[in-house]
Structure 1
Amino acid sequence: MFKVALIVGSVRRDRNGIKVAKWMEQKLKERGHEVFFIDPMELNLPLLDRMYKEMDNPPENLKKLRQMIVDADGYLPITPEYNHSTSSAMKNTLDYFLEEYFFKPSAIVSYSVGGFGGVNAAAHLRQILSEMGTPAISSTYPISKVQTVFDDNGRLLDEKHDKRVKRFLDEFEWYMEAMKKQREKGTPY
């Protein structure tokens, strides 16, 4: 159906976000989507020195990342909240590119160990994504007390999320379809 770049926002050793990411990957695949699983820890991304387009000889891991970003119909960043913001790993992963994101939607998933589900990180990430040309859908998907939602193997423990995620992904699909049709007609620039 669609190609979705799922972007993991944490590189911590004992990260909860990988559980969220694998669950979201499963939900997207159940709907027939192809998922590009972008994990900055696996890609071993260096700190940004210059944007991809400015590199004379980009490393293979960045070539691979760029291809996933270009091929995607939409982006699903999964961000933790660190100090009321998104993570440096998320920002570093996103900032290698710009034009590659244009005119494709994003849908933000945020999480925290506290009761607010990373909503501050989601709000900050929404500003960043908008500036980068990938507008975020109006809904976000915050997950509060993430450590109680999944077991150590990433299995969902709180079934209310299976019901809630449907509406979120329905909206994301609507935007991916609408924006893909418009891109096929041509873009403003």
Structure 2
Amino acid sequence: MSLTIPIILGTVREGRQGLRAARFMMRRLTEAGHAAPLVDPAELQLPLLQRMYKEYPAGAAPEPLERLAQLYRRADAFVVVSAEYNHSIPPALSNTLDHFLEEYFWRPSGIVCYSAGRYGGVRAAMQLRAMLGELGTPSIPSLLPIPEIGKALDQEGHASDARLDQSATRFIAELVWYAEALRRQRAEGTPY
């Protein structure tokens, strides 16, 4: 079953390494037969959150928010790609996520975290896990950490080590399992 799984990139920094991880996941999901559009905060240029998408009158939200709302409503799951900034998530990621709420409901998320160092961004992933649950897109149990991202992935997102590809295969299988299960349940109705 083909799914729509947006890849939400979390950084706008110059020379951002997260594009490597996002491209890696986009390619792996596409190869598995799924749609994996990139949600890039650098391209979206969202303002700092002053009001959520749902707080705009119908049809009055800025165009990037309307476009994201349409994509998120079609989504079956989300992959969130996060760096670790000061043991936390990047501010651009929080800003991108916080513009929406109901659009995330009843859809699982998977966390791909990375860092230049050996921990692969897992400290940020723990905070992100709590945030995603609160947004209504709980993360699957597995993470896909990418330590030393500059060595692990090239500019186009190709892995230098087969172990990362193997980990991604398991991670995607788990995310797809949750996405298909929740898709069936959404079709039958949600609690509210």
TM-score by length of 1: 0.97
Question: Which sections of structure 1, spanning at least 5 residues, go unmatched?
Answer: none
Q: Kindly state the Cα deviation for residue 163 of structure 1 after the two structures are TM-superposed.
A: 1.3
How far apart are 1:68 and its partner, in Å? Answer: 1.2
Q: TM-score, normalised by structure 2?
A: 0.95
* Gap runs ≥5 in structure 2: none
8 Å contact from structure 2 (residues 24, 156) kept in 1: no
What is the CA deviation profile of residues 92-150 of structure 1, one whole-angstrom value per residue up to 9, with x for unaligned ones? Answer: 00101101111100000000011100001110000000011111100000010111112
Match of 1:11 in 2: 12
| Other-structure match for 1:80 | 83
* Pairing partner for 1:150 from 140, 148, 153: 153
Query: Distance between the aligned counterparts of 1:110 and 1:30, measured in 2?
Result: 21
Alignment of 1:43-82 (within 5 A): 43-56=44-57, 57-82=60-85
Q: 1:125 aligns with which of 114, 119, 128?
A: 128
Given residue 13 of structure 1, which amino acid in structure 2 is its aligned partner? E
Q: Give 1:151 shift.
A: 2.4
How many angstroms does 1:153 deviate by? Answer: 4.1
What is the aligned length?
A: 189
Equivalent-residue separation in structure 2 for 1:142 and 1:154 (angstroms): 14
Q: Which runs of 4+ in 1 moved over 4 A?
A: none
Residue 37 of structure 1: CA displacement?
1.0
Structure 2 vs 1, CA of residues 152 and 28 (structure 1 numbering), >3 Å: closer, same or farther?
Answer: closer
Deviation at residue 70 of structure 1 after TM alignment: 1.2
* % identical aligned pairs: 47
